[in-house]
Amino acid sequence: MEVIEKQTENSLQEKLISLVDKISIASVQDKKNLIKKNDFLLLLQNKDLIFDYTRNKANQIRQENFSNKIYIRALIEISNYCKNACFYCGINCKNQNIQRYRLSTEQIMECCKTAYELGFRTFVLQGGEDIFFTDEIICKLIKSIKEKYPDCAITLSLGEKSKESYALYKQAGADRYLLREETANSEHYQKLHPKNMNHKNRLECLRSLKNLGFQTGAGFMVGSPFQTLDDIAQDLCFIQSLKPEMVGIGPFIPHEQTEFAKFPSGDLNLTLFILSLIRIMFPKVLLPATTALSSINPEGRILGILSGANVVMPNVSPMEQRKNYALYNNKASVNEESAEGLILLQKQLDKINCKIDFSRGDYQQ
């Protein structure tokens, strides 16, 4: 009996290996052979059988494309005001228990200065959907940063806007935009968001960003409430067809003042496995080892890189405000000075023979 079980396991493993290889081959054949949802699902269902193989392949592909370089991005959390009430997010507008803040233009410029002096050449402006930041203010800000730091890239992560607004940001000089789809399944989307938020609109935003020529980032949380492996397979298909230049994947982590407070965090290994699949699917993609990943495991960053990630986004927001930008609890590096954080990062990278790359690190075809 045991022998038969072992044989079945072996033949399943062979099938899984050939599937992972198929993803890799499809990635160099200009996506003519799209991977089917059921194939992704089979991999996800049997990840333990194929985990090491997938991770090694992803890590190898990362090295072939980026050698030992890890890109860094200076993350500036410009506002924790948000007009939305996403059920999972700690800065949702219903949360009365946080101190709200928004950085002034001067404060944001000061963050850029600190970051620039540390060697960063990408600034990521991230915030809740704060109506104070009108298109005019955002465009002015982009222009000021670009004028002062013409050699730097600007990434925005400011949520859903109209196509016209995105176009204005592009014109003003923004280079990249991060907007996770959160889930590719519209029914699942509705379990994570209030009725006034619309899945179709979110996906349209992503298409607009791509069409406008932004280096565009999509992605989702792993282990968000009600998510099934089938949903994740659907996200992988969605990402496969969108072909984003960046993909943000991190575990869901509960925030105590949200209605999802009692849900468990997303699984570390499942997150790492998905990072690897993404790297294999898109050898050149910009793939961060996210803060959420570091937050569920002290080695999260390193494990992320060894699974195919090639970007880290250290926080350079003003110290006084860090704790208030809590999308989830127990967020990593909240009390770490920017300079200190960078030294720590280099130390971590030394152990795996990687080093910080101080260039802009744009997506290369």
What residue ranges bind ligand 5AD (CB under 6 A)?
A: 88-89, 180, 182, 221, 250, 252-253, 255, 292, 327-328
Nearer to ligand 5AD, 111 or 253 (CB): 253
Closest distance of CB 92 from ligand 5AD, Å: 9
User: What would the two tokens of residue 287 be?
Assistant: 């793939």
Supply 28's token pair: 């160099």
The answer to whether 294 touches 345, Cβ cutoff 8 Å, is: no
User: DSSP letter string over 177-226?
Assistant: EE---B-S-HHHHHHHS-TT--HHHHHHHHHHHHHTT-EEEEEEEET-TT
Amino acid letter at 323?
A: K
What does the block give as tokens for 97? 């228990």
Residue 100 backbone dihedrals phi, psi, to 5 degrees: -85, 145
How near is the Cβ of 89 to ligand 5AD at its closest, in Å? 4
Beta carbon nearer to ligand 5AD, 116 or 328: 328
* Residue showing the smallest CB distance to ligand 5AD in the complex: 328
Contact 66, 356 (CB under 8 A): no
Tell me how far, at minimum, the Cβ of 199 lies from ligand 5AD, in Å.
Answer: 14
Separation between Cα atoms, residue 79 and residue 252, nearest integer Å = 21
Q: Residue 106 CB, nearest distance to ligand 5AD (Å)?
A: 25
- For ligand 5AD, give the closer residue by CB, 27 or 208: 208
Report, in Å, the least distance between residue 88 CB and ligand 5AD. 4
- Residue position matching structure tokens 């999509």: 218
Nearer to ligand 5AD among residue 149 and residue 252 (C-beta): 252
State the Cα–Cα distance between residues 293 and 289, nearest whole angstrom: 7
Cα–Cα dist 301/74, whole Å: 16
Please say which residue, 169 or 252, places its beta carbon nearer to ligand 5AD: 252
The tokens describing 260, both together, are 């999802």
Q: How far is the CB of 220 from ligand 5AD (least distance, A)?
A: 7
Amino acid at 272: L
Q: Which two tokens stand for residue 323?
A: 């704790």
Q: Which is nearer to ligand 5AD, 169 or 328 (CB)?
A: 328
Considering the complex, state which of residue 219 and residue 341 has its C-beta at the smaller distance from ligand 5AD. Answer: 219
How far is residue 281's CA from residue 28's CA, in Å, rounded to a whole number?
A: 9
Nearer to ligand 5AD, 73 or 180 (CB): 180
Cβ 117 to ligand 5AD, closest distance in Å? 26
Residue 131: CB minimum distance to ligand 5AD, A: 18
Q: CB-based burial of residue 22 (10 Å sphere; 0-12 exposed, 13-18 middle, 19+ buried)?
A: middle
* 188, 226 Cβ separation under 8 angstroms: yes
